[in-house]
């Protein structure tokens, strides 16, 4: 049984099982989930913690996947192909993982000390720059640092908006552009494949398992059991994507260049020109991801 078929079967079993048997099947699903193609990756040093938190959430919210599957796709999971089931499961997983990754960066920002030295000679603390009436900017170097911070914040926000646009496709532009006969291999799928995911890394799951460094790969240990983690997934290439959807490599890449690339560029430019419009459009999701309120 290939991996896609195994994922589908595990999900069907979970849907129909109860009690301890169901919990065991869920654990089997979680064991292979981090190894699936398309799982969101990140270079944050605590990325594994985000994955662990995500899998913990998945374990306690798996019924929501079945509910959303039926509501969104209007079909039972048993009636879809294994490939499609796996892709939609990964998409659902990434919805949780995205928030857990953003939490890592948000916590990092919250932990910045007001006593961090700034300025060219690093003799001034941030706390000393705060006057009663607001920021007191004593040097051009500090001012440039502040401006850079604002610019980086806006750049980060644009990247987040682009990501939300790709995931939601609010105008349906991306979903409807696809090679004839391959509706699932559309512009949205292609961009998600290359833009929203990177090469795989070795990850573990949240069960107080110990990461063990053993060549050629890492292992995880629980009690006396040893389980080898997945090796990095294949590099994201046109050839691998074409193989996944059983479409000719030349057909896929040629279609992207002729029909998809310009649309993606137009979306980028439109977000750049109408930044405020898209900020409002995705405001609820941005606030949820970044933990902001309306007054931020």
pLDDT at residue 234, rounded to an integer: 59
- Asked if the peptide bond before residue 41 counts as cis, ω within 30 degrees of 0, the response is no
Q: Which of 179, 186, 167 is nearest to 84 (CA)?
A: 186
User: At which residue do the structure tokens 């798996």 appear?
Assistant: 62
Contact 177, 267 (CB under 8 A): no
Task: Return left, alpha or beta for 169; rule: phi > 0 is left, psi -120 to 50 is alpha, else beta.
Answer: left
Task: Please state, in angstroms and rounded to a whole number, the distance separating the CA atoms of residues 106 and 223.
Answer: 34
Is position 56 within any domain? Answer: yes
Structure tokens at 186: 């559309």
Task: Please state, in angstroms and rounded to a whole number, the distance separating the CA atoms of residues 161 and 124.
Answer: 35
Is position 277 within any domain? Answer: no
Is position 196 within any domain? Answer: no
Spell out a b/e string for 134-158, using b for 16 or more CB atoms within 10 Å of the CB, else e: eeeeeeeebeeeeeeeeeeeeeebb
The pTM for the full model equals 0.47
Is position 168 within any domain? Answer: no
Task: Please state, in angstroms and rounded to a whole number, the distance separating the CA atoms of residues 87 and 89.
Answer: 5
pLDDT at residue 141, rounded to an integer: 45
Q: Which domain holds residue 34?
A: 1-110
DSSP string, the chain: --HHHHHHHHHHHHHH--HHHHHHHHHHHHHHGGGSTT------TTHHHHHHHHHHHHHHHHHHHHHHHHHHHSS-GGGS-HHHHHHHHHHHHHHHHHHHHHHHHHHHHHT--TT-EESTTS-EEGGGGEETTEE---SHHHHHHHHHHHHHHHHHHHHHHHHHHHHH-TTSTTTT---TT-TTS-HHHHHHHHHS--S------TTTPEEEEETTEEEEEETTEEEEPPPPPPP--HHHHHHHTT--HHHHHHHIIIIIHHHHHHHHHHHHHTHHHHHHHTHHHHHHHHT--TT-
Is position 221 within any domain? Answer: no
Is position 289 within any domain? Answer: no
Is position 181 within any domain? Answer: no
* pLDDT, tens digit only, all 296 positions of the chain: 688 899 999 999 999 999 999 999 999 999 999 888 888 888 888 888 889 889 988 998 999 898 888 777 777 888 888 888 898 898 889 888 888 888 887 765 544 343 444 444 444 443 343 333 333 333 334 444 444 444 555 667 787 888 889 888 999 999 999 999 999 999 999 988 887 654 443 333 344 333 334 444 444 444 444 443 444 455 678 888 899 899 998 999 999 999 988 888 899 889 888 988 998 998 888 777 665 555 44
Is position 253 within any domain? Answer: no
pLDDT at residue 11, rounded to an integer: 95
Kind of pairing between the strands at 124-125 and 117-118? antiparallel
Question: What is the number of domains present in the chain?
Answer: 1
């Amino acid at each position: 049984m290939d991996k896609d078929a195994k994922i589908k079967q595990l999900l069907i079993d979970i849907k129909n099982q109860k009690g301890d048997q169901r919990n065991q099947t869920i654990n089997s699903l979680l064991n292979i989930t981090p190894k699936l193609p398309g799982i969101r990756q990140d270079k944050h040093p605590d990325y594994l913690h985000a994955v662990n938190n995500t899998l913990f959430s998945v374990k306690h919210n798996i019924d929501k996947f079945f509910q959303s599957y039926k509501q969104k796709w209007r079909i039972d999971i048993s009636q879809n192909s294994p490939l499609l089931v796996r892709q939609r499961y990964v998409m659902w997983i990434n919805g949780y993982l995205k928030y857990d990754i953003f939490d890592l960066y948000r916590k990092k920002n919250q932990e910045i000390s007001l006593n961090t030295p700034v300025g060219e000679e690093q003799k001034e603390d941030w706390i000393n720059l705060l006057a009663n009436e607001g920021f007191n900017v004593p040097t051009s170097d500090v001012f440039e640092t502040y401006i850079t911070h604002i610019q980086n914040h806006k750049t980060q926000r644009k990247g987040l908006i682009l990501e939300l646009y790709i995931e939601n496709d609010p105008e349906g532009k991306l979903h409807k552009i696809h090679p004839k006969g391959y509706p699932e291999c559309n512009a949205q799928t292609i961009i998600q494949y290359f833009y929203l995911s990177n090469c795989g890394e070795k990850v573990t799951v949240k069960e107080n398992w110990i990461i063990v460094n053993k060549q050629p790969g890492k292992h995880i240990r629980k009690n006396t059991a040893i389980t080898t983690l997945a090796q990095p997934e294949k590099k994201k290439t046109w050839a691998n994507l074409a193989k996944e959807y059983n479409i000719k490599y030349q057909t896929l890449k040629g279609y992207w260049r002729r029909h998809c690339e310009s649309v993606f560029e137009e979306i980028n430019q439109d977000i750049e020109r109408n930044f405020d419009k898209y900020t409002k459009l995705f405001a609820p999701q941005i606030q949820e991801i970044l933990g902001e309120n309306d007054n931020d």
